[in-house]
Amino acid sequence: MSNYLGIDVGSITTKLVVLSGDDQVLAKSYIRNSGRPIEAIQQGVDEILAQLGETIPIDGVATTGSARHLAAYLVGADLVKNEITAHAVSVIDFLSEAKTVIEIGGQDSKVIVLRNGVVVDFAMNTVCAAGTGSFLDQQATRLGISIEAFGDLALKANHPVRIAGRCTVFAETDMIHKQQIGHSVEDIVAGLCDSLVKNYLNNVCRGKEILSPIVFQGGVAANRGIQRALKRELEVSLVIPEHFDVMGAIGAAKLVKKAKPSKTQFRGFDLPRKSCSTRGFDCEECGNQCEVIQLLVDHEVVACWGDLCERYRQKMNGIAHGA
As a whole number of angstroms, the distance between CA 96 and CA 91 comes to 7
Class of domain 96-240: alpha beta
Mean pLDDT, the chain, rounded, equals 87
**Rounded to the nearest 5 degrees, what angle is found at the Cα of 206, between the Cα atoms of 203 and 207?**
165
Q: Is the pLDDT of residue 178 over 90?
A: no
User: What pTM was estimated for this model as a whole?
Assistant: 0.88
Is residue 316 very low, low, confident or very high in pLDDT (cuts 50, 70, 90)? very low
Q: Return the exposure string of 75-101: e unless at least 16 CB atoms fall within 10 Å of the residue's CB, then b.
A: bbbbbbbebbbbbbbbbbebbeebbbb
Query: Has residue 256 got a pLDDT over 50?
Result: yes
**Residue among 245, 241, 252 nearest 98 (CA):** 241
Kindly give the residue spans of alpha helices, DSSP state H, lying in 125-246: 133-143, 147-154, 168-180, 185-199, 224-234
Domain spanning 3-89+249-272, CATH architecture: 2-Layer Sandwich (3.30)
Q: Calculate mean pLDDT across residues 292-320.
A: 78
Contact indicator for 254, 240 with CB cutoff of 8 Å? no
Q: In what order do the strands lie in the sheet with 276-282?
A: 276-282, 291-297, 300-305
Whole-number Cα distances in Å, 194 to 19, 88, 96, 130, 308 = 36, 26, 29, 12, 45
Strand partners, 101: 112, 215
In this prediction, residue 127 carries a pLDDT of 57
- Specify the higher pLDDT residue, 165 or 84: 84
Give the residue, 162 or 128, on which the prediction is more confident.
162
Instruction: Say what the pLDDT of residue 129 is.
Output: 55
Q: CATH 3.30.420.40 in the chain, residues?
A: 3-89+249-272, 96-240
Per-residue model confidence (pLDDT) at position 149: 81
Amino acid at 174: D
pLDDT band, very low/low/confident/very high, at 20 (cuts 50, 70, 90): very high
Give a three-class secondary structure readout of 92-119.
HHHCCCCCEEEEECCCCEEEEEEECCEE
- For residue 186, give the 3-state DSSP assignment: helix
Least confident of 82-91, 142-151, 198-207, 279-288: 142-151
DSSP 232: H
What's the pLDDT score for residue 318?
44
Given a contact cutoff of 8 angstroms between Cβ atoms, the answer to whether 303 and 75 are in contact is no
